[in-house]
Amino acid sequence: MGPLVSRLPRTPFDPVEFADAPPPGGPPADLEPEPPLGRMPVAGLSRRSLAGLLGALVILWIVVVFARAVADSASATGRAEQLRESTAAAAAKLEAERRELELVQTPAYVTLQARAYGYGEPGERVFGLQAGAPSPAPITPLGEDPAGSGPRSPLDDWLALLFGP
């Protein structure tokens, strides 16, 4: 047997019946009865469609975040390689400068530079070219013709021997 309330006849003053009943004379023309919120479609989409759309957006967001992380990782790897190369170049330059410093501090280099400034051993005569002096004549390498024609090929030598210079 059901509850006792369901057996009682309803009166016109029953609050449950009164809330569900339309106003006397029917609903007003400007107001239509609203469907329950649980069954109301939004822009023609059902709950299942909205859930699928929301799931697709979440998956798309995860893919974008993952792709961005992969791109950032690749960029960081490239930057690390550039930094390794620049570090190796800087280390090579530093080593060359250390060797140059060792050379500059040797007595032979100091003596050579002192002579370039006119400081030499006692008894040495300082010499140099006067300002505006002409350039010296070019030195002819050994084996070349002093006229500056340059070295000749063996064929030219044989032709010169046979037919004269």
User: What does the DSSP 8-state code read for residue 96?
Assistant: H
3-state secondary structure of 45: strand
What is d(CA 75, CA 110) in angstroms, rounded to the nearest whole number?
50
Q: Residue 46 phi/psi, 5° resolution?
A: -90, 175
Closest alpha carbon to 128 in 141, 115, 137: 115
Taking only the tens of pLDDT, the chain with its 165 residues reads 555 555 555 555 555 554 555 556 655 555 666 655 555 555 577 888 889 999 999 999 999 999 999 999 999 999 999 999 999 999 999 999 999 999 999 999 998 888 888 787 788 777 777 888 888 777 777 777 666 566 678 888 888 888 876
Q: How far apart are the first and last CA of the chain?
A: 144
3-state secondary structure of 14: coil
- Residue 126's pLDDT is 72
What is d(CA 127, CA 112) in angstroms, rounded to the nearest whole number?
14
